[in-house]
Structure 1
């Protein structure tokens, strides 16, 4: 009887083979301010914001109480608030268990903090994993911002746009945010900024433009158009800040799966990894596309002849088992790789 033999072939395309991926600087509050009681909840705590809870009934935590109970450990001091922005539940066909996924946005003095989202992943109302970056110790005055109209004009001038470039001649409305001037998640990286989405059917290259709410200068801009076939997204920062023209990471998000192979479960019914959002879908790629996983449909082992792997949500569950397993394993090693997953009959 034939069986499906599945392997993962790793092809290295790094400038320096096997070099570790450059990661944005970040230090979780609970890593620098250790608390034995808090630490005892987890089987693993990573430098990149992942918390894996122990599978011990005596230590089970409800997702509805976790943030409130451990706010101080997470770095949520005065002026901080995690606001719920999305929640999903699912029951995979293979089980009768209810999976729950919650997403929160960090606010500081009622201003959203760029890149500071926090997610909780639970099964049957028992928290299994938590993930996110919360930059602790922010001390930023959020009052006295320049007028929004002045900031908008600066953004328009930067892109060479006028009112006529917008549908119905309606100019975009900006909002205040605490934006990063670089790719790092450090309290020194944040600036109060006006942010504008400069987009319309008439604009071929729409951008999200950040204007420093203190100086009135361009802080950075990010392309809004996402394409599967476009090169890496590029954020540019104003010359007054360090490292202008820096090639930033594309945004990546936490995703989960049920492993195909029990040897990778390590006591968890789900495993977490990171993917990149492309339009309304999620792709098995991360770290500015330096880690990319594809399926070798043609059994050639050739990179360019095989497609990217997409999923409509961050919950991969049982879809593309081999690709997600290979992707997760590569992230465990944090290597600069491209992966072709080959499925062959033997």
Structure 2
């Protein structure tokens, strides 16, 4: 009987932990638990008991299992006995359930009404920013690797196109201007700030360039240890760069979204055009980063650009690779994408 009890608990454990490792599934368990689903309460309790890092919380495990038992769950009684949850002190009043549900869901999209720009919601998370074991040959400015956490944010699904730039600015400065679906380029950091000011004046939502931390987190599919947006394969990927399999677009920009998207649904995070970021560039910026939502805006005369372009070798498309340009520089291989602050 004891072996059977252990087996039942372990099956529930495997299912609960595998779900909890996905943030969206964890929040779904939490939401269903609050609606009175006793099976979700049991899964959530196991997830808290065996969770990793910030998820691990035996007290919350005890309280959710107790709540499931109080609502008639036989499974909860077995879990309570197996995990000996009575050992954990604390009263399970209403304050134990203090987890905040996200306002938006991973992958949710929003279309900005003036230009039609599409944005994808990227949930909050923590990751090791900078050089890691899959990064390839890192440069010195990609070190030290350091843990940072970012709040959830909306990021442009595509690089800003020439058509979208024209709708706001009334002109098109790009070199490769035969097709307005191509990314806008030959725009300086200062030009982009003027674009953002005009766009913000036409919207309730507010737009700005991504920070380096936001950009790398998004490029790495939510902070995964991958070298490129598409994974770790470096041999002639189907992207737009000098050593990529770019097809008919070799040596020029391609219409935004011409190549594969990453796991977050973002296109052209590697190649096509480099992308302006909000941060001031400093080779030792990582040593000065805050642990949460880092943004470097101190010493330095250049701004960060990320992602590599159609002119670069594949190694420059690495998610951790950092580049820079002076704010007034206009180049046919530098463009941008935006992030958006949106109220629920």
TM-score (norm 1): 0.25
More helix by share: 2
More strand by share: 1
TM-score (norm 2): 0.25
Greater Rg by CA: 2
